[in-house]
Every structure is written in structure tokens, then in C-alpha cells.
Amino acid sequence: MTLAKTRSVGLVGVDGYVVDVEAAITSGVPGLHLVGLPDTALNESRDRVRAAIFNSGEEWPNRHVTISLFPASVPKRGSTFDIAIATAILAAAGAIPPRSCAGLVLIGELGLDGRLRAIPGVLPAVLAAANAGCRTVVVPHPNTAEARLVPDIEVIPAASLRSLLSLLRGDPPPPEDEQEPPPAEAPARPPDRRDTLDLADVRGQAEARRALEISAAGGHHLFYSGPPGCGKTMLAERLPTLMPPLAPEAALEVTAIHSVAGTLPPGQPLITRPPFQAPHHTSTRASMVGGGSGRVLQPGAVTLAHRGILFMDEAPEFDRGTLEALRQPLEEGEVRISRAERATSFPARFTLVLAANPCPCAAAKQIDCSCAPAVRRRYLERISGPLLDRIDLKLDLSPATRAELRYDLEVAEPSRVVADRVLLARERAVKRLAETPWRANSEIPGPELRRHFLPSAEAMRTADDALQNGTLSVRGLDRVLRVAWTLADLAERDTPTADDVGGALALWTCRKT
């Protein structure tokens, strides 16, 4: 019996784990047998690998070949094991030295012609390999830039199985096949509409613009209610222009999520801007929080918006179950999905922005509304009280007056000016929270907030009265305290004052503008 071993990486959600790929060639009925709970796509790799080996000019061992994927008790899925399986088989057959591939981590899908094809999820796979102590990975050539985002690991790009075998044998690279088409270049990215947005485009709504600044500075959830045309969507779409670029660690985390989901922008291996997700109101619960069937669990919109913004326009039009599914990620910053075959967690720490019309008819003026009071009440009650309780800032907007529009032509601030204030406020919060695992006011848990970050008794008097008379819940008190700290950071104060707490309370109880 001849035996060879190499490694690959499997993914569960956005987390990876190293898989030992062992090949044994024994006497018996010729064929290839996979063990280790492979799924359908992985079982089909037998035909892909066989054709790729033949078309790379190598001999297929005409004996019984067993491929073991360890740990054997963990289900494996996908085509990312193709190159590792092919290399292990050829090493066991003596076509390459077995020691040459023993320390490598091989990730990639094989085409029938032997070329390596780009795959999703390379970044979390390489991160998992690095965390497991591996130091060299082989990836398809189109995934090279993404894999090299991981520090302290050697990345070997491979265009084909033939070129990889030449490298392992110590031979010069094979000449390019003239009949082989060159790898397709990444399509040019269309202009990003977000690059042209600016807060100065919004006329009027000074209070709403101020709430947007507070949301960006502290990562607070926001709810706009008002008639059509008052600027709810315009304001929400400009929130990303106020937020600073992602920190390096957060950028890697966000990029890994979009790599797994296959939504990484072409030609952009690293996402440095906070993501912005705006799902349609017909979105299902699974598309919102993530899910799938069997072994395939995909992240949803709340995970794709991790470290960014989730904007839900026409919020009452969403299915009630879809809205209620947001309650856990809003509190815990992650989504846990359980299925019969496996369970996984997806990160989901995002800023939620809701927008809603006051009634189903969406009349521009209240005098033109044809809805009965009971209809208006039932419409807004589609957003439940427990969900609204988790929203930090609530504003009831009115259409801008002619005087406001004229005044704002001269004094409306552009996004870059507001973004500078937001950045300074965030830096103050990071400095204050330096000895803690949190980096924004919205991330501080309630018990820690009340234990270590409680303002003075005089400053808390307004909130205490609201808590006493029942207009403020305990969860709402935590939200008010977080916003009060953000108001203090924006005003460059070391601790919230009574005005900060009172302003935060007014925003939590839905201020009318």
C-alpha cells in the first residue's frame, strides 16, 4: 500500500477548519472511493479529478484509490478539495515526492482541462489555515490578491494542475498552451452610486440630519417615520458617507463574509468601507437572517451588513416574522442558525435604519389621507413594540417648509464636514473604551453600562422620572444612556450632562420634527 497526505480547508458558515486529505492506493477493484461524509458536489470531484489528471499529461493509477477526509465525522461540502485530492493521489502513485505536498494547504476547484478555477470563501479558508499553524497555501491564480490579505503566510498561486506539479517536482514552469485561452480578467466595476451621494443634497430636516450624525458617531439604530417625499430614504442612503473607513481587523472580517457569500466586488479583494444593505420588503426570513437546507448555510442580509448599515425601507410592508427575526441579532450581534445536520453562527453587528410611511395610502399630505385612524394604527403596529424598544433614535418627520429649503441652501453641511465630527467622536469613545472589548457606545452591554458608565444623579433625573412613570423601559434606559454618551462625545465632554440625557430620552421616545 502507498500512502500520501496533504491538507485543505472546509468552511462552516464563515469559519474554516483544516482538513487532512489522505490518499491510499491498494489492491482491489480499480476506482476512487471518498470517505469523510462528502456531499454531492464533493462526490462528483471523482470525475473532475480523473479528467484533470489525464488532461495534465499524468497517469491515473489503475488500482483501488481511497481518499480520506479527516475529521471524518464532520460533513464536507463543495469543490474546494479538488486540487488537494488530485495532488494526494499523484503523490501516492509516485508521480511527485510525497513529502513535497505534506506541509501544503491546497484550496481550489479543478476544471476538466486541469486548470484551477476561482472559488468563493478563499479569505476565511486561508485565515483558518494560518490560525491552525500552516504557513504555505496554494490557491487558484484569480484568488491570489484575496489570499494575500492574511499576514505571515506564504501564498502560492497556481493556474493549473500541471504548473503545480512542476513546482512540486522542482521543474521549470510548463510553457503556456497556445490553444488555452487566457484567464478572464475581472470586469470593470460600474461606478458606485454611493460615491456621488452627499448629506448636503438633503434640504431641510435639520433634526433628522442631526440624528443621522448621532447614529454614525455611536452606531445607534434609527427609525424615520413620515409622509412620502420628506427625505427618509435620502437620509438613510447618506449614512455611509458619514462613517469612517473600516479598521483593518473589521475590514478582514467583512471581506471574509462577502467572500463566503460570493458577493465580493470584482477587482476589490479587501472591503474597506462599511457595507450598505437595502433588502426589498418582499424578502423572506431566511434571506434576512441567513439559512439554507442541509449542509449549505448561507449568510443573510443582517450578516452582509455586518459592521455597516441595514436599511429597511417601507418597514411595515415586511413580513411580521422577518421583522421579529431581527430582535436577537440587534441584542447579541450574531445570528445562530440550527439545522438537522449542523449549526453555525454568523456575525451580525450592524446599524439598523427603518423608514415607514404613517399609513398604507401614503398620502403626501395628512389632509389627503383616506385611511381611518384604526387602519393607520394597525399599519404602524406591524413594527412591534419589542422591536421599537431596541431602536435608539426615533423621529417623526414632516415635509420641509419653503423657509427651511431656502435656509438650507446656505448652511447645509456636506458629508465630509459631518464625517470629521463623527470621526472625532468615535476616537473619543475608543479612547474611553480602550481597556474593554468594545469600540463604540452602542456595543456596551447594559449591565456594564449601568455599572461603570452611569452619569451623575443630577444628569439622570429626567431618565429616572421616565423610568418611574413607565414611559421608559429598562432596555430603553440602556439605549438612552448609550446615546447620551454619544452626544457627550460629539460635544467633546468627558461625561454626559442633563441636557445629553434629556436629548437622548427625547430621541428614544420619538421626537416630532
3-state secondary structure labels for all residues of 345-381? EEECCCEEEEEECCCCCCCCCHHHCCCCHHHHHHHHC
What are the phi and psi torsion angles at 271 (to 5°)?
A: -90, 120
User: In whole angstroms, what separates CA 473 from the centre of its chain?
Assistant: 31
Highest mean pLDDT among 66-75, 168-177, 210-219, 447-456: 210-219
**CB 21 within 8 Å of CB 54:** no
78-128 confidence digits (pLDDT tens) = 889 999 999 999 999 999 999 999 889 999 999 999 999 999 999 999 999
The ranges assigned to domains in the chain are 2-169, 193-443
pLDDT score for 190: 60
Work out the average pLDDT over 54-82. Answer: 91
Q: Does 178 score more than 50 pLDDT?
A: no
Please tell me the least confidently modeled range out of 161-175, 419-433, 452-466. Answer: 161-175
pLDDT bin (cut points 50, 70, 90) of residue 411 is confident
Residue 65: CA count within 13 A, CB half-sphere? 23
Task: Tell me the CATH number for domain 2-169.
Answer: 3.30.230.10
On the question of pLDDT at 186 being above 60, the answer is no
Confidence at residue 181, expressed as pLDDT on a 0 to 100 scale: 46
Most confident region among 261-270, 332-341, 344-353, 373-382 by mean pLDDT: 344-353
**What is the arithmetic mean of pLDDT over 376-394?**
92
pLDDT reading at 513 higher than 60: no
Per-residue pLDDT, 266: 78
What's the pLDDT at 70? 93
> Do 352 and 289 touch, CB atoms closer than 8 A?
no
Q: How confident is the model at residue 177 (pLDDT cuts 50, 70, 90)?
A: very low
Residue type, 240: P
Residue 117 pairs in a beta bridge with 109
CA distance 191 to 188: 9
87 CA to centre of own chain: 33
Return the closest-CA partner of residue 395 out of 240, 264, 245, 506: 506
Residue 175 is predicted with a pLDDT of 75
| Residue 471 or 500, more confident | 500
- The band of 482, judged by pLDDT with boundaries at 50, 70 and 90, is very high
Average pLDDT over residues 479-490: 96
Range 350-376 average pLDDT = 86
- Tell whether the model's pLDDT for residue 501 goes beyond 70: yes
**What's the mean per-residue pLDDT of the chain?**
89
Say yes or no to pLDDT of 395 above 60.
yes
pLDDT digits (tens, 9 = 90+) for 261-276: 989 887 788 999 999 9
CA pair distance 199, 225, nearest whole angstrom: 19
pLDDT of residue 174: 81
Asked if 16 and 87 count as a contact pair (C-beta separation under 8 A), the reply is no
Report how far apart, in Å, the C-alpha atoms of 312 and of each of 126, 210, 224, 318 are.
34, 20, 11, 8
Q: What angle do CA 463, 327, 231 make, to 5 degrees?
A: 75
- Give the β-pairing of 351-356 and 309-312: parallel
**Residue 292's pLDDT band (cuts 50, 70, 90):** confident
Nearest CA-CA partner of 510 in 349, 403, 358: 358
**Cell representation of residue 203:** 434640504
Which residues, listed in sequence order, are joined to residue 47 by a DSSP beta bridge? none
What is the pLDDT confidence band of residue 180, given thresholds at 50, 70 and 90? Answer: very low
Query: Is residue 263 exposed (0-12), middle (13-18) or buried (19+ Cβ within 10 Å)?
Result: middle
Q: Contact, 420 vs 460, CB < 8 A?
A: no
Find the mean pLDDT for residues 144-155: 94
> Which residues lie across from 69 on neighbouring strands?
21
Q: What is the CATH number of domain 193-443?
A: 3.40.50.300
Q: Which residues contact 110 (CB under 8 A, 6 or more apart)?
A: 45, 48, 49, 52, 79, 82, 83, 86, 116, 117, 161
pLDDT at 193: 66
